[in-house]
Structure 1
Amino acid sequence: MVTIQVKDVNYNYNGFKALKNIELTLNKGQVIGLLGPNGCGKTTLLKCISGILTPSKGDIEIGGYSLPELDNTDRARTIGYVPQAEEVNFSITVFDTILMGRKPYLGWKPSKKDLKIVRNLINQFELKDLAMRGLDELSGGQRQKVILARALAQKPKILVLDEPTNNLDIKHQIEMLNIAKKESKNDILVLIAIHDLNLAARYCDQVIIMKEGEVYAQGGPEKLNKENIEPVYQVKIKIKEIDGHKIIIPHSEQKTPHLYEEDPEKIPPTTK
């Protein structure tokens, strides 16, 4: 069984503690949602797990091997990483972009198997009409699908998605999450940072809620409750159930500190 074990992981940015004593055991065959407000450490944790960043302290084991023990090829065959956004500064076709995911397996030229995998992904993602288009010509939703297809071309055991639904319309959000759910059923461990609590409640088998660089709560979707959400996000919520799905609704009236409540010195002098 492929597992990720995060052991007492800390990460510091110029003295700022972005991650504090993180302990996690994550198993394959699940969509695991990483949640929390901006700046809580989600992206930093995903980059540590993907090997992009090296923890300041602690260790990450994948399948019993410490991450630094895996060379670049083994790591690329094990972990597929999709960033929040990927800048495209040059023209490259959709086909060639997905083919780049086969780099850990390529010889001096693509094999029939490599080309077949790319063609299958193009068909699966309904990208056939775009295959010869440049990546820089695509919409945000189309481009995100291509980047995900490239990661899946690696045939990874672990798929790490950093807020893949950001800036996508609801149709493309659902497409992305349906793909993630389907891949988890192929015994892939899908770890996804996600902002939308309702989508997390619907698609995630497990959730990890972070606050200020620490794990605040962990467990099944039932952990998305008032007791965890309100103190982490600093908002009041109510929870409804519609057609068997949990719906998390922020109260329409939230207390917003007045400018002068935060700093009494800013109160202007009275005039007569």
Structure 2
Amino acid sequence: MNSHSDTSSTDPIHHHLALDRIAHVTLRVGAILAQSGASVRVVHEGARMIASGLGVEVMGMRSGYASFEITLERGRATITRMMQIGPHGVNHRLDFAVRDLAVRAAAGGMTPDEIEADLDRLVRDTPRHPWWLVAIATGAACAAFGRLLGADWLSFAPMLAAASIGQALRHWLLGRRVNVFVIAAIIGCVAATLGGLGARLAGSGTVQLAMMASILLLVPGVPSTNAQTDVLDGYPTMGSARAVWVIMIMVFAVTGLWLAEFVLRIQM
């Protein structure tokens, strides 16, 4: 005579709910990786490792810019689920922490609840650099690139200050969920104006270069690289979506720069 546990394990409803739970945690791992700046190949591999560790087979995955879909199979049961992906960003610490979790889960011995608890902990406790340190480092990087592009030393401090203020303002605006394209235009205008004005007051002969260098923080390097990587890896839809996002960011950043030139009455 079968025990109660044996009956529940073969119950179709119980089996479906268990598969649904696995699909949810697998999707969540993929979504967090995507939001942290991972390429589609990494997202799919992370989700596949989680599914494998939980004893199910991945029949198919589809990554969109705003959603992630997966189809799982165990025995004769299959399930297809989709999850929304939040705003894309760059968080390498969280990215690699979730990758490590996927490796541990793939070895087996973890339940969906344990994996999700670890995900919650990583999202909550993965350290971040303080905003002011990021702002200063960003300013120093932009000023250094300005020098490499040919800006003189008199414009170095204005470029550093302008880009640092721009990064701090971006952090504040992102925290208030302002549209990222609007943010690009605002930062482009503010940082370029401050950098150009500061360079002019310092007596620099490379004011225009100072303005351009002050908005280099808006260049989306990781999304640009991912767009190319996704296309080369055979995911042209996602790669194209990322490329369009990059182009839009640059259009709005240049719009902000143009407004700053108008304010300062500088002709390129």
Greater Cα radius of gyration, structure 1 or 2: 2
The answer to whether TM tops 0.5 is no
Greater relative contact order, per chain length (Cα 8 Å cut-off, separation 6+): 1
TM bucket (normalised to shorter chain) is: under 0.3
TM-score, normalising length: structure 1: 0.25
TM-score, normalising length: structure 2: 0.25
Higher strand content, 1 or 2: 1
Higher helix content, 1 or 2: 2
